[in-house]
Every structure is written in C-alpha cells, then in structure tokens.
Amino acid sequence: MLIGIDIGGTYTDGVLCDQQQVIKSIKVPTQKIISHSIENALTQLIKDWEPSKIKQITLSTTLITNLIMEEKLAKTGMLLFPGPGADPQQLKFACPLQILKGAIDYRGRVIESIDWSAVEKAVEYFLKQAITHLVVAGKFSQRNPNLELKVVEFIREKYSELKVIPSHQVSGLLNWVRRSNGAYYTLTTQEANYQFREKIIKTLQKLNLNCPVNILKADGGTLPLDTSLKFPLETIFSGPAASTLGALACTGENTTAVVIDMGGTTTDLALLLAGKPLLSSQGAFIKKYPLPVRSLAMASLALGGDTPLEIKNGKLSFGFRQGQALCLGGPKLTISDILVYSGYSKLGTPESVVVAIEKISGELNLTSKEFAQLVLNKVIKKIELKLAEMFKSWEEEPAYRIWQVLSPQKERPRILICLGGPASGIGKYWQEKEAWQIIVPPLAEVANALGAALAKTTLIMDLFIDTEQKIYTTNLGGLQGDLTHKLRNIDEAKKFARELFQQAAQDWHLDPTESLEILYAEGFNIVRGWETRGRIFQIGLQTVPGIKTFLKGAERNA
C-alpha cells in the first residue's frame, strides 16, 4: 500500500492507496512544525493497519518554500567568475555579490587565472557585512569546476567559520544565473532540510514504519528523502504538482483541462494537456529570481476558503487569512462560510453564520442571499481574470503549441477540474452560472495527497561531451568527469549517456525497468587546420513522467 501526504497552509491531507483504490483519506490541521503534521497524518492513516503493509510514503511539503518566502535564510554572498562579456550587475542574482578575476571558456578551458588577492579582499568584505555563507559560481564551471573548487578549498582552509558551496555541485545547467541562485537557496536551506529528515526518520521509527520515503518535486516527479538533502530546491512548489497529478488520477489518462486547487489560503492553477501536466520551459522562479529547477507552468492566487470578507469604502473586498472559517470557530466571516450558507459546502451549518452574513450584507443594503451571490461572483471573476492571464503565458509554451497542432480541439480548454474543499463548492456554483464544464472528482478534497501517493520518481539528464578535451558534464550536480574511452559516433555517445543515467538512477532509487526517452541527441565535429580533432555531443534523457496508476472508474469522472 502507498501513502501520500500533502502539507498545505491550512490543512494536511493524507491518503492510503491500494492498487487503484483509496482505502482511507484524512484531513488534519497543519501545525507550525511540519513534522508534527506529518506524524499526526501518518498515525491516523495506519490506524488498524500493519505498518509492514506500507510500501512507500510520498510527501508534498512546503518546508523549503516557506523558508524562502518568509526570508528565514542565512546572510549569504556570491563570489562570481563572470568571464568576458557578462555584467553580473545587470543580471538577476538573489543575494549580494563580489566579482573575481578568472574565467573558463565554453569548452571548459581556463582562459584567465585566479587573482588570489581579489578573492581574499572579497571574502573580507563579506565578513564585515556579517555574512556567514558563501556561494562560488562561474560561467561554464559545469564544464570545468577547477576555479570554483580552488576558491572553495582556499576559503575552507583560511576561513573555517564560513559555510561555502560551489555552484557546479548543485546543478550542471549552462545558465549560470540559475545555477548560482540554486546554489544560494540550496546552501541556506540544507540545514533545515537535514533537521526535517531527522524528524521524519524518528517519526517512522516511532510508528514502526520501515519503507522508502519520497519527496514530491516541482515538476511532478519525486526524489528519495536522502537525495533531497543534496537537492532541497527541487521540492519547492510541490503543491500544484500534487494537485495536477491528483486531478489526472481521478479523471483518466487523456484529460485536457485546467486544474484549480483552492485551499484555505491560496488557489493554484495548472494545466493538463492530453493527460500530461504542462511544464514551464523557463523553469521555476522565486520572486524575480530564476532557478535551476523544472516546474509546472502554474500560478498561485492569494485567495482561499479562509479568506475573510471585508467592507471597505462601501465595497466588498477580500482580506488576508486570519484563521479558520467562522463556522468552525474562526474570527471572521470567510468565503467558506458563504459556501456553507449557500448550500455548496457541508463544512459547517448555515445557522452558524446567518447572523454574521445578515450584519455584513446590511452594510451594503443587500439581502443575505444577494450578498452571498455577490461574494461567489467576485471569487469567480477573480479566478477568471487570473486564468486569462495564465492562458496568455501557457500559449507561449512549446508544449502547448504542439498540443494545438496535434489536437482536433484548437480553442482553449473550457473544462475545469476543481479540487480542494472550497473549490468543490465554488465549482458547483460556477457550473450553474458560467459556460465552463466543471468536474468535481469524488476525492477532490484530498486530491493533492492522492497525486503525491501515485507520482512516479523522475529524473532528467542533460549530457555534454567534448572528446577533444576528453571531458563530460551533466546538469546533475557533481556528475561529471574525464572521458576514459573513445566515442566515435552518436550511437556510442547515446550508449554512454544511458550508462551514466543508470548510475545516477541508483542514487534516486529509480525502478531499473522504468522506460527512458531521449529528448534530443546531436553531435558535431571539432575541426582545426582542415583536420577533425574531436566531437561535441549533447544528449538529453529522462524517465517518462506521470503517475503509477489511475483510480478505478477515473474516466467516468471526466
């Protein structure tokens, strides 16, 4: 049996699955300490079951996202080797920086040596700023980490009080801005992630659970808990990934629809095209900073079931969450309370909110029913405006354009899959009022946890080979080295790529029978003096993403 747990801002959801059925589902309040919420959910899920029957646990967690969004990060500086032709001051780096002399070219050759006096001066500058963490990053360092490694070694020997990380160990992406930002967020969240892992291990021991634990990634795949220590940034924005996979599991493998997941605090929007979540070709961003992380093409809206209703200057407005809905003992009237009053939710009883609705509707000279309709119409309008904005973005994605060419349906999808407690109620009202086809699956309220439980472990590898320099590098941090045998053509390069991929797959606990797809494979000769000196190969491989199975009767829900 499989367990999936999704930790949201308001509630933590969990499911226990056996093959194509959900045996048990639970919903508990999210506590301040995330590991406590997980323990509470696991305790309820495995009650009446032998722990030995649990074969895997997958967590969709907000740990890293919360640390970053709440700015609970150590003060950090970047030491950069931009090389010729780049002005770091004009690029989007996520923390203060100092520029060093030294450079690597696109082939991985050192074309400028390190100025050690400049390194020492830069470190001393950061120390005066009370900075305790340093990132060392250089353009093309993923093809030759020599400069990064030398500076890291120097800092660790002379300034042992500082924590330092080279960018190539975090990601092998060519885009050095994304790689540098990724190293920054990795360095500053690793300790919290390590503590989280220790708490999860203790929880498993306490509950006699002895099974693999995976963490959901932003692209809808998973990675083992231990591997997440090295790549904590991969786990950001896992909530939208979980809901999208959950929607797919509930509705069938050919689903094309917008997925709306409304929780207590936020609403997430994502897109399914012919049964595949739409990925962002630009990768993930935190605030304005680009990251070396694949993610869904998604958006979040600061609107949820616990969003309070306020009257400002004689008009209805939405505030910021202050607690649970009024019908559950919360402090203020919320969107969820309106759904309860209107008969679209069974979260509480209409009688528990009647007085509050009468009072606030009176301020606008409306009846309670008119006020309820005003609120729900405003919610729908707000979501539709965000959807219109997102469709403009989605339509720029290559995968969306390919879908338009291949699909007999040329217009924008007009199907909405509504997930989460509040979204289920909104969906029912929406279907009555708007020209959308609304799907509210039977397990809509715990679909995120279901998506986590059924997600496949996925891995993508971009490989660069230079046979003249006799080196290879990948986008997987640290997976690079010297080429020890000849690769004469693209087929031999593909074979080498598959061998490397299998090596990485062991670290990610991938199923060896999992099918692989080649994303691209190209090669060209290196010619000098009318003579071929070597070849450059670039190859992309990945495990096919998706879910392990669909629920029984999923197609009937679509």
For the chain, which residues make up each domain, given as ranges?
Answer: 76-188, 252-441, 460-543
User: Where does 256-397 have alpha helices with state H?
Assistant: 335-341, 354-362, 368-394
Average pLDDT for 380-406: 89
Which of these, 230, 235, 231, lies nearest to 58 by C-alpha position? 235
Q: Which of 331, 330, 356, 329 is nearest to 341 (CA)?
A: 356
Asked whether residue 557 carries a pLDDT value surpassing 60, the answer given is no
Res 556: pLDDT: 47
Alpha-carbon distances, residue 289 vs 4, 30, 233, 242, 286 (angstroms): 30, 28, 13, 23, 5
* pLDDT for residue 37 is more than 70: yes
pLDDT of 122 above 90: yes
Band of the pLDDT at 105, cuts 50, 70, 90? confident
Residues 24-34 pLDDT 10s = 999 998 888 88
The confidence score (pLDDT) of residue 142 equals 82
Determine if residue 474 is left, alpha or beta; phi over 0 gives left, psi from -120 to 50 gives alpha, anything else beta. Answer: beta
Contacts from 496-505 at CB under 8 Å and sequence distance 24+? 496/465, 496/472, 497/461, 497/463, 497/521, 497/539, 497/541, 498/541, 500/461, 500/463, 500/472, 500/474, 501/459, 501/461, 501/541, 503/479, 504/459, 504/461, 504/474, 504/476, 504/479, 505/459, 505/543
Q: For the residues 89-106, what does the mean pLDDT come to?
A: 91
* Residue-level pLDDT at 178: 92
Query: What's the CA gap between 144 and 103, in Å, rounded?
Result: 10
Mean of pLDDT values over 534-558: 75
Quick one: CA torsion of 170, 171, 172, 173, rounded to 10 degrees?
-150
Would the pLDDT of 232 be above 60?
A: yes
Question: Is the predicted pLDDT of residue 529 greater than 80, yes or no?
Answer: no
CA–CA separation, 452 and 4 (whole Å): 5
Tell me the whole-structure pTM to 2 decimals.
Answer: 0.85
The predicted pLDDT at position 516 comes to: 81
Res 555 pLDDT > 60: no
Distance CA 270, CA 247 (A): 10
Average pLDDT, the chain: 88
